[in-house]
Structure 1
Amino acid sequence: MKILITGANGFIGKNLIVELKNKGYQDLYLCARNTTAAELEQYTSDCDFVFHLAGINRPLTEEEFHTGNVQFTETLLQLLKKQNNKAPIIFASSKQAMQENAYGKSKLSAEQALLEYEKEAPDKVFIYRLSNVFGKWCKPNYNSVVATFCHNIAHDLSIQIHNESSELNLIYIDDIIEEWISLLEGVTIRPALDHRYYIHTIHQTTLGKLAEIIESFKESRRNLQASDMSDALVKKLYSTYLTYLPEEEFSYPLKMNVDQRGSFTEILKADSFGQVSVNISKPGITKGNHWHHTKTEKFLVVSGQGIIRFRKLVTDDCTEEEQQILEYYVSGEKLEVIDIPPGYTHNITNIGTSDLVTIMWANESFNQDKPDTYFLEV
């Protein structure tokens, strides 16, 4: 299939192109500002599908709205009619088409031209009214509040909020691309009553909440608190935020608690899932010798050789001196998780000649005021 994409260098265009290539589409006609009239005529004569994404939303003069949004759309349709090419067209319009401003009026006029064209090519025109689209590669300080907030917060710049309670309906770029490619591949999608199409996955929030969420991503490098990725909006915003980090700041240090035995470092924590840490023990060192009432842990040795020992605190059939000590030999050569149940005092000993590296998960974050940790030799 040969696919024509106008506005190929734009935010939506870039995301569409890479996903089309992921899907195996290779015959892409990319139309941008430097595309010649002759090239556009050749594209329209040969294409099987059109994504019409080109448009003007930040012109120097209001006349450019008409030139970029209305006249270009009319030119595109005239070329298709001239070639008798009834390829389906997806048009990226805007919800501002319902507004009485110059941009909205130009988008509405472009829509009307497409609806007239549809009379000659029934069921071939798909007008999508989009608003507040966000995701990777969106230009900050332009027309996306998400892009601006992500960029400014990631770069330690201030953000402006005039009304924290102002409501937003956000659309994630991947949700748009997924629906459009489904339509390209023949999935039937019903329009709304006004003959326009709308992306159904819309995330509602407020301007103040949006800023709070994005600020929490920056703060998470300090407090190690993981965001709630079960919230679809939070997950998509976090993925978006990371793309605005300065490239020299992709990494960040962790606080290592170091002594002669090795080190212990917290990596990530959250009330919803507990805490993940990494423990490094020097050869011959034993760590632990404690037990918990409620806290549980999982140990995963990823490098070195060690032994994990357990002793149950209370048994019915023997004295403390007679209690059996359980032993599990662990190694980075064979990854296995060892569960640490409550009521068992336990320790881990490095029996190798190199550092013993253990990934540890606890079902609760460490609370200094209520550590639920009681020292007792195994």
Structure 2
Amino acid sequence: MSEVALTGANGFVGWHTRAALYGVQPSRTFSLGDGFHVDTASSAINGAHRLVHIAGVNRGTDEEVREGNLLFAKQVAEALTRSENPPPTVVFANSTQSGNGSVYGEAKRKASDILRGATEKAGVQFEDVLLPNLFGEHGRPFYNAVTATFSHLLSQGEAPTVEHDKELCLLHVQDAADILVGAVTPGESESLHVRESVTGLLKRLTAIAKAYGRGDIPDIRSKFDRDLFNTYRSYTFPQQAPLSLQRHADARGSFFEILRTHGGTGQSSFSTTEPGISRGDHFHRRKIERFTVLAGTATISLRKMFTNEAHEFRVTGESPVAVDMPTMWTHKITNTGNDTLYTSFWTNEIYDPSAPDTIPEPV
């Protein structure tokens, strides 16, 4: 199977790119900067189907931004030159700010020139991908993008304000990952960009936070709103999980609402699980999924992809709660009781066997 070599694999874009590749193409990673070893890097590059250079310096002093981006590009170029069997395609995760006269923009432009020269020398194709403002799950507040900052503040119950309104060109980071690994062609990438003002972005996220604060699924009919919702709820987990549900019981039995949705498709399903048996051990890149135990006792386990960060929730039908599965977190539900477990599942997508968005991975 063809492999993809990556730099910056532990950063925001790199982590999402690894998730996009998982189960589809194996990835090889190597370090840049102080951890760079040319032999290790050239070995990772050698024979790969594609090299994606993501690592960069976005924040810091002018010198750190300038020198850091140029150093990384020079190290990648050196490793590429040393490779006996270089990848036929080298991709640079560049920025639409490239060449705009700022320190960061000039650093990205010069880094692109360095990589282009190395690919010409190696006789391979160079793709200079100009990415706009990226947003997505687990972006770093006050660093990666304003979407991350707004989502973080709203999840903490704060009310962010807009100081300088302007129009943004936004792209979900999972879409950026698909572009970088070649799952989306450069010609198709423009259709994934969304233009929204900073004020409009905050308005959307505020509505999402308000709805989700009640346990509701907000209006996610548009792809953009779904991606914003997945982004926002990554800042609420695990602090705001599970979601409490009000149970009404009398002599006739009990009743509780599982969820309320404000727009978009959905599919509900139901399962029984015998004691000691688990369901799941997979993750989703974009799909929203809610587990609700109706009767019995279970443990819902989740682990953030490529990390050891894990959480468990012990749930029972006697005290019903809803647990939403964050995207890029592998998860499972295990019957830990002595009786049959009855569970309701809801997802925002009608199941499509040709595109299930369900990637196997043990918790």
> Who is 1:68 aligned against?
68
Closer/same/farther in 2, CA of residues 182 and 3 from structure 1, 3 Å limit: closer
User: More displaced, 144-153 or 68-77?
Assistant: 68-77
> Who is 1:19 aligned against?
20
Closer/same/farther in 2, CA of residues 253 and 244 from structure 1, 3 Å limit: same
Listed as ranges, the matches of 1:1-378 within 5 Å are: 1-25=2-26, 28-33=28-33, 35-38=35-38, 39-45=40-46, 47-59=48-60, 61-87=61-87, 88-121=89-122, 124-164=125-165, 166-182=166-182, 189=185, 199-221=190-212, 223=214, 225-256=216-247, 261-262=252-253, 264-269=255-260
User: More displaced, 220-229 or 14-23?
Assistant: 220-229
d(CA) in 2 for partners of 1:219, 1:9: 32
Structure 1 counterpart of 2:121, one-letter code:
E
> Who is 1:366 aligned against?
none
Over aligned residues, Cα RMSD in angstroms?
A: 3.4
Deviation at 1:256, TM superposition (A): 4.7
Deviation at 1:265, TM superposition (A): 3.9
d(CA) in 1 for partners of 2:48, 2:249: 64
d(CA) in 1 for partners of 2:70, 2:44: 19
Structure 1 counterpart of 2:169, one-letter code:
N
Give CA-to-partner distance per residue, 1:276-304, whole Å, 9 cap, x none: xxxxxxxxxxxxxxxxxxxxxxxxxx88x
Q: Name the count of aligned residue pairs.
A: 270
Closer/same/farther in 2, CA of residues 178 and 270 from structure 1, 3 Å limit: same
d(CA) in 1 for partners of 2:49, 2:213: 51
d(CA) in 1 for partners of 2:168, 2:56: 23
d(CA) in 2 for partners of 1:21, 1:272: 30
DSSP 3-state at the match of 2:221: coil
d(CA) in 1 for partners of 2:92, 2:254: 57
Give CA-to-partner distance per residue, 1:296-355, whole Å, 9 cap, x none: xxxxxx88xxxxxxxxxxxxxxxxxxxxxxxxxxxxxxxxxxxxxxxxxxxxxxxxxxxx
Query: Residues 212 and 218 of structure 2 are in contact (CA less than 8 Å); yes or no, is this contact kept in structure 1?
Result: no
Query: Sequence identity of aligned pairs in percent?
Result: 24
DSSP 3-state at the match of 2:244: coil
Superposition TM-score, scaled by structure 1 size: 0.62
d(CA) in 2 for partners of 1:255, 1:124: 58
Closer/same/farther in 2, CA of residues 211 and 79 from structure 1, 3 Å limit: same
d(CA) in 2 for partners of 1:126, 1:63: 27
Deviation at 1:11, TM superposition (A): 0.7
DSSP 3-state at the match of 2:98: helix
Query: Residues 94 and 128 of structure 1 are in contact (CA less than 8 Å); yes or no, is this contact kept in structure 2?
Result: yes
d(CA) in 2 for partners of 1:244, 1:147: 9
Query: Residues 4 and 31 of structure 1 are in contact (CA less than 8 Å); yes or no, is this contact kept in structure 2?
Result: no
Consecutive unaligned residues in structure 1, runs of 5 or more: 192-196, 275-301, 304-356, 360-378
Consecutive unaligned residues in structure 2, runs of 5 or more: 266-293, 296-341, 345-363
Deviation at 1:200, TM superposition (A): 3.6
Superposition TM-score, scaled by structure 2 size: 0.64
Deviation at 1:69, TM superposition (A): 1.0
DSSP 3-state at the match of 1:249: coil
DSSP 3-state at the match of 1:120: helix
> Who is 2:360 aligned against?
none
Deviation at 1:153, TM superposition (A): 0.8
d(CA) in 2 for partners of 1:148, 1:273: 26
Query: Residues 66 and 106 of structure 1 are in contact (CA less than 8 Å); yes or no, is this contact kept in structure 2?
Result: yes
d(CA) in 1 for partners of 2:98, 2:157: 35
Structure 2 counterpart of 1:174, one-letter code:
Q
d(CA) in 2 for partners of 1:271, 1:156: 22
Closer/same/farther in 2, CA of residues 6 and 226 from structure 1, 3 Å limit: closer
Query: Residues 128 and 198 of structure 1 are in contact (CA less than 8 Å); yes or no, is this contact kept in structure 2?
Result: no
Greater C-alpha radius of gyration: 1
Closer/same/farther in 2, CA of residues 200 and 31 from structure 1, 3 Å limit: farther
Closer/same/farther in 2, CA of residues 221 and 118 from structure 1, 3 Å limit: closer
d(CA) in 2 for partners of 1:42, 1:222: 49
Query: Residues 33 and 71 of structure 2 are in contact (CA less than 8 Å); yes or no, is this contact kept in structure 1?
Result: no
Deviation at 1:252, TM superposition (A): 2.6
d(CA) in 1 for partners of 2:119, 2:44: 20
- Taking CA–CA contacts closer than 8 Å with sequence separation of 6 or more, which of the two structures ends up with the larger relative contact order? 2
